[in-house]
Amino acid sequence: MPSADRRPELRLVQPTERVPPVGAAGPLVLVGMNHRSAPVEVREGAALDGDAALAALTDGLTGPLIRELVLISTCNRTELYAHLATADVAAGAESLIGLLRRHAPNAAFDRSHLYLLHGEAAVTHLLRVAAGLDSMMLGEGQILAQLRAAHAASAQASASGAVLNRLFQTAFRAGKRARTETEIGQGAVSVSLAAAELAAKICGDLRRRSALVIGAGETGELAARHLTGKGIGRLLIANRTAERASALSERVGAEAVPLEALGRHLSEVDIVVSATGSPEILVTADDVRRAMSARGGRMLVMIDIAVPRDLDPEIRRIDDVFLHDIDDLQGLVQQNLARRLAEVPSVEKILAEERTGFFGWLEQLELTPTLRDLTRQFERIRRQEVAKQLKRFRQDDHEALELMTRALVKKLLHLPLAQLRAYAATGDATRIESVRDLFGLDDDGQEGGGES
């Protein structure tokens, strides 16, 4: 294959520093849309899950251009990662777009909603997705599980092979490292989770604590879920309409209590989260003072995420009671977001390491056939020459001739092979390319090597 074909000019594809040569490893191409490139109406239509995803994977592999395929579909993104069987990146991308059109016929997307990346840019994108850098909520952790599921589905459909398997393993490791080695996933970035984290910062292990959630609306439910997520020992839910309290209690595994018994529960529980639509104050400072004297000074965490407020701001003045309102929590969320943002450079560093590792492997994949081809070529020339000259030697010397020429070839090849391995280790594919050119390893003719 002429080397000119390996660097196609493609209008839609972002330029990258390097396009992997087509050999054992063809180009990697990504076609996708996310919350930044496409509005929600478009993303909804392009979401492919379960059977639809399986059908798309199977269909994608029937074409001649795509060697391996992984499809990621979450509420914020639909992405197709392909390892192509052709060096023609543009044609590969077109076939992926066609695939998306066929399997998401209702999606009203056009080119402007899509991003098309290949080579290093595609790999970088996947690693950023895995680390949560491309998520709507920076550093969000669910995406890693979604990537695992997407890759597993593809592997099950035999749609992913050596290259994409390696790529996704790299992405999983990068995502995990980003979360353990940096604080990209640290600190709550939603108000209801911040409420649960704040409660844990005061009370310690929540398994030995009890909490009361006032209000069975959406916010109340989120708060209740985050508290159970942190293993709260006992959870009570109070609501103006008792039915909603019981319904939510059943869903999250809590006990519904009547709103009238609030005073009694105030002296029992360690944490109160209030999120009702009540226009007036539900718990006054006097209620809390009474409760505190019954508690013998045991700490009480009170979190008010309702607007207008449910808990009397005067409560703040009572000793050993920690009152926080929605402004406090939003401040905490902003601060956590800022801290995550500050971690991005460290995450990028990890991603760069992992990316280098992946391309090193990819080049190795490319190198192995080059080493083999080069050795075969030299061996073929040796045999041809030996066969030509064999008549000139006595029968007794044939074995010596064979041994001598073999040793000669081995000696001649020793340094070039070692150098090739060294090039691959540095990740410089162009040198491997030059070697293939120089020795005509990609030529179809068997007339290798110019003997005089």
Q: Binding to other proteins by residue 189, rule CB under 8 A? A: no
Element (H, E) at 250: helix 242-252
Sign of the four-CA dihedral 89, 95, 101, 104: negative
Among positions 67, 118, 324, 436, the unique one binding other proteins when judged by CB under 8 A? 324
Q: Binding to other proteins by residue 335, rule CB under 8 A? A: yes
Nearest to 130 by CA among 115, 143, 116: 143
**Other Cβ atoms within 10 Å of 347 Cβ, number:** 27
Among positions 41, 110, 181, 447, the unique one binding other proteins when judged by CB under 8 A? 181
Amino acid 297 reads: G
Binding mask 112-141 for other proteins (x = CB under 8 A): ------------------------------
CA distance 275 to 217: 7
**Candidates 100-108, 117-125, 128-136, 316-324; binding stretch for other proteins (CB under 8 A):** 316-324
Least distance to other proteins, CB of residue 265, Å: 16
**218 in Cβ contact with 239 (< 8 Å):** no
DSSP 8-state symbol, 257: E
Question: Rounded to 5, what percent of the chain is helix, strand, coil?
Answer: 55, 15, 30
Among positions 68, 140, 328, 366, the unique one binding other proteins when judged by CB under 8 A? 328
Among positions 187, 215, 220, 448, the unique one binding other proteins when judged by CB under 8 A? 187
Least distance to other proteins, CB of residue 339, Å: 8
- Which residue numbers are catalytic? 75
Query: Where does residue 127 rank: exposed (0-12), middle (13-18), buried (19+ CB within 10 A)?
Result: buried
Least distance to other proteins, CB of residue 230, Å: 12
Least distance to other proteins, CB of residue 325, Å: 8
Least distance to other proteins, CB of residue 192, Å: 16
Q: Binding to other proteins by residue 344, rule CB under 8 A? A: no
Among positions 5, 286, 320, 385, the unique one binding other proteins when judged by CB under 8 A? 320
Q: Binding to other proteins by residue 231, rule CB under 8 A? A: no
From first CA to last CA, the distance across the chain in angstroms is: 27
**C-alpha angle 438-442-446 in degrees, rounded to nearest 5:** 95
SS3 386: helix
CA distance 201 to 238: 24
**Candidates 57-65, 152-160, 179-187, 368-376; binding stretch for other proteins (CB under 8 A):** 179-187
Among positions 200, 214, 305, 306, the unique one binding other proteins when judged by CB under 8 A? 200
Contacts with other proteins, residue ranges (CB under 8 A)? 181, 183, 187, 200-205, 295-299, 316, 319-320, 322, 324, 328, 331-332, 335
